[in-house]
Structures are given as structure tokens and as C-alpha cells.
Amino acid sequence: MRVHLKTLGCRLNEAELETWSRGFQSLGHELTQELNEADLVVVNTCAVTGEAVRKSRKLIRRAQRNNPTAKLVVSGCYASLDPADSSGIDLVIDNKDKDRLVEIATKQLDLHAMPAIATEPGESTLLARGRQRAFIKVQDGCRYRCTFCIVTLARGEERSRPVTEIISEIKELHAGGIQEVVLTGVHIGGYGSDIGSDLFQLIKTILEETTVQRIRLGSVEPWDLPEKFWSLFENSRLMPHLHLPLQSGADSVLRRMARRCSTADFQQLIEQARQRVPNFCATTDIIVGFPGETDDEWQQTLIFVEQMKFSHLHIFSYSPRPGTKAAELPGHIDRETQKQRSQSLHDLGQSLKQANQQANLGKEFSVLIENTTETNEQGDAIWSGYTPNFLRVTIPAPADLALENCIRKVRLEKLSDTGDRILASLV
């Protein structure tokens, strides 16, 4: 069968989609990028915001409209929170069962195929799709209950994958050509809470028992990192970049959010990281317009974000999610105020990003080179990739030089005209 996979939302959803793609291919099914060619469509939905719910519904309707003869399987947070809304869907798979989605869909929908692809050893489905990095799901669920978050309700209690299983997956992907893995989960800082382990031990074991060149972490809650954590970065294979969600720079707002980290704690963490880890890069999330957010609290956020010198901001306008405590709080902020505050934060984020880029000019880094889509006036191919500390770079090189999926040292020369990346040269 031809299978079309679609996802919305977080890196964890992407990791799950990649796992499903390998599962379907191992059974002999063929992946297709074209929705209207598929015999089976799988949609991994999101419910982190009201907008994510709207997009999930739209994606499902598009699949039903553009390919009504295909079997439709839906999973993810939106599907788990509202399973009753399933008209026209052949199978809804709850989050707690999504690790078995390929198995369940095969049985429930009577999918059959000769496992031809399974007889081709060493073939990497990700690399075949032009990918150099893979997302590895290490755990699911979260034991915390931030007042704005619906995902913890949708994903359920924490469940950690066995370290041996994770190691095997990384080795398999690396053997197929993957150079970089990204560890993801709903609450990866809580890894091992249910199996007598922790994130520190997991990363230490991955560094010891695999040879994949680059290891990154998905979003990590700041209160989960012990001081000894920074010693892991002495191994250069662990990339010096962390996404540490702040959500607000005002302690009063953080308390209403039920966050477990104050601004003072967060600042101390960032200072530790920058002292211990060369070229460390911190990115973060900020929620704009949380219920009751005053002008003074908003100014506190702007000031704190500037002090922390984040290299990139993910900005979310607050939207109430039924079933969360925040939805019941008084003082919801009107859309126009949210829009104005978001624009102010976006402008600050752009300024901080360019300052960070400027601070790295003249330095040399190893870059995983991903692809090329254009040439310059001299006929050179323009390649792109990321430095270890998560700076996007473009690199001109002779068109006959094969660089895809290579790790090469480059020197950062200057900012691009658009300011969204750095122009670099091969060393």
C-alpha cells in the first residue's frame, strides 16, 4: 500500500512520524509525498493551542476531501482529547497506543504487503528522503501540570523507553547514514523517573555506546538539569545548544502558570551553562498575554529576555484550552494587546538573534551540511547547515564537490542580507 504521513506540532510528533515511516516500510508498504496517491493516510494531530486544533481539523478535512477513497488513521493530542469527533475517520489511535500505531492499523484495517523493503539491508528511510538528522522519542507523558498546558492531559503519565531500545535505534540510524540525532519527548528531563534512571545517565550511555557524530536535545524544562549535567558537554558530540522554556520573565506570572522555576533560578542556570560550555546557545519559549498579565509584568518579561540574550525566541499568544486551570483564570488579555506585545517581543528577538550572530563571526565550527538548492553568480553551489550551537549557515562551494551529509569545518564570515543566516566559507 502507498502510505502518506502528515504531522502537526512538536518534534516529538515528528519523531513518532519517522518511527511510523520505518514501521510501514519494514512491512513492505511504500511512502508517498502525494496525498491523492495514497491508499492509507495517517495524520498526527496537535492540541497545544486553539490554532493547533484548528489546523488539525483542517488537515483531517483536507485528507477526506482530496482522497476520499483512502483509509484514514488519526492520532495525536487532538484526536486523544476529542475522540468523539471522528466522522469519516477509519481509525482513531489514542496517544497511549501510538507507539503501536503501525501494528494496530495493520490489524484493524487489514493491511497486507510483501515485505520487500525489509529484505534490503542497510537502507535508511530517512536518508533516502534526503535527511541527515533523526528525531528519537525517548519518553512520553508528563507528571507536571502547568496551568496553560493541555498536552500533559492528552499524553498521560510519564513513560520512558528502555535505554537499550534507544541505543539500538540510534545505532541502526547511524549505520544507515544519519549523522545527528535529536532526543525528544513531552518531558525529556523526566526521562527514567519510572525505570530508575535519568536524563544524565541516558545521555552518558548514548555517548559511551554509540558513535553517532552529533547529539542534540529537544526542549528541556530548566528545573530538570542538575549541576553535574554540564560535564556531559565535555564530549564534543553533545551539541552546545539547549531549548529551555521560560514562558514569562515575571515571577508573578510564572506562579500563575505553576512553573517550577523562578527568574533567579533560570538566570543562574544560564550563567552556569555559559561558564561551563564553550559557545553555549540558549533558545526559549515565551507565552504572550497570559491571563491577568499586567503592563508591568509584560515589561518585566521584555527586560528579562534582553538580559538573558537568547539567540532565538518561540513566541506564542496565549489561547485558552478547555480543561486547563488557566482557562478559568480571570483577566484574559484582548487580541489587540496580545498582538502589540508579540510584535514588541519579535522585534527584540530579532535584535538578540543578530547580536548573537555577530558575536560568532570569525569563529570556526564544524557544520553538518544538509543540502543545496541554489547557485551563486560564480556558479558555486550554495549549501546550508547548522553549527553545533544552532546557527544557520550557508556555504558556497564548487558545484562538483559532494558535501551533502558531510561534517566540514567552516569559518563564519558575515550576516546574510536578510539577517536570517550567516555566510560561511570552507576551511
Q: Which pLDDT does position 83 carry in this prediction?
A: 65
Contact 179, 146 (CB under 8 A): no
Q: What pLDDT is recorded for position 120? A: 36
pLDDT tens-place string over residues 401-413: 889 899 999 999 9
Residue-wise DSSP of 372-420: EEEE-TTS-EEEEEE-TT--EEEEEE-TT---TT-EEEEEEEEE-TTSS
Say which CATH number the domain at 372 has.
2.40.50
User: Is there a single domain that holds both residue 32 and residue 99?
Assistant: yes
pLDDT score of 26 more than 80: no
Contact residues for 35 (Cβ-Cβ < 8 A; gap 6+): 4, 6, 41, 62, 63, 66, 67
CB 152 within 8 A of CB 142: yes
Residue 198 has pLDDT above 60, yes or no: yes
224 plus 256 within the same structural domain = no
Last residue in a domain, options 72, 87, 119: 119
Is residue 198 in a domain?
yes
**Would the pLDDT of 121 be above 60?**
no
Nearest to 321 by CA among 158, 92, 154: 154
Across 81-90, 131-140, 209-218, 417-426, least confident range = 81-90
Residues whose CB falls within 8 Å of the CB of residue 426, separated by 6 or more in sequence, listed in order: 395, 397, 408, 409, 410
Output the pLDDT for position 227.
82
More confident: 201 or 153: 201
* Better pLDDT: 342 or 420: 342
CATH number for position 38? 3.40.50.12160
Q: Is residue 125 part of a domain?
A: no
pLDDT surpassing 60 at residue 337: yes
Q: Give a yes or no: residue 88 inside a domain.
A: yes
Q: Is residue 388 part of a domain?
A: yes
Give the H/E segment covering residue 76. strand 71-76
Number of residues written out for the chain: 427
Q: Which CATH number belongs to the domain containing residue 255 in this structure?
A: 3.30.750.200
| Cell numbers found for residue 195 | 525505570
* Domain contains 16: yes
Q: Domain end: 311, 329, 360, which one?
A: 360
Mean pLDDT for the chain?
Answer: 89
Of the residues 239, 271, 296, the one at which a domain ends:
239
Q: Where are the beta strands (DSSP E) in 223-363?
A: 241-243, 281-288, 312-317
Regarding whether 344 and 416 lie in a shared domain, the answer is no
Q: In this model, does residue 179 exceed pLDDT 70?
A: yes
Task: Determine the distance from the C-alpha atom of residue 198 to the mean position of all C-alpha atoms in its chain, rounded to a whole number.
Answer: 20
- 291 and 354 share one domain: yes
Domains in the chain: how many in total?
4
* Strands (E) located in 267-327: 281-288, 312-317
- SS3 category, 78: helix
pLDDT band, residue 343 (cuts 50/70/90): very high
User: Where residue 192 sits, what CATH number does that domain have?
Assistant: 3.30.750.210
Q: Identify the pLDDT of residue 322.
A: 83
The share of the chain scoring above pLDDT 70, in percent, equals 94
Residue 21 lies in a domain: yes
pLDDT band at 107 (very low <50, low <70, confident <90, very high): confident
Give the range among 21-35, 137-151, 282-296, 317-331 with minimum mean pLDDT: 21-35
Query: Is 30 exposed, middle or buried (CB count within 10 Å of its CB: 0-12, 13-18, 19+)?
Result: middle
Q: What is the pLDDT of residue 282?
A: 96
Once rounded to an integer, what is the mean pLDDT over residues 325-341? 94
Q: Is residue 314 part of a domain?
A: yes
**98 & 134 share domain:** no
Does residue 403 fall inside a structural domain?
A: yes
Residue 414 confidence (pLDDT) above 70: yes
Predicted pLDDT of residue 85: 62
- Looking at the predicted structure, is the pLDDT value of residue 423 above 90? yes
Same domain, 353 and 397: no
> For residue 275, what are the domain limits?
245-360
Percent of the chain with pLDDT over 90: 62
Residue 126 pLDDT exceeds 70: no
Q: What is the pLDDT of residues 275-305, one digit of tens each?
A: 999 999 999 999 999 999 999 999 999 999 9
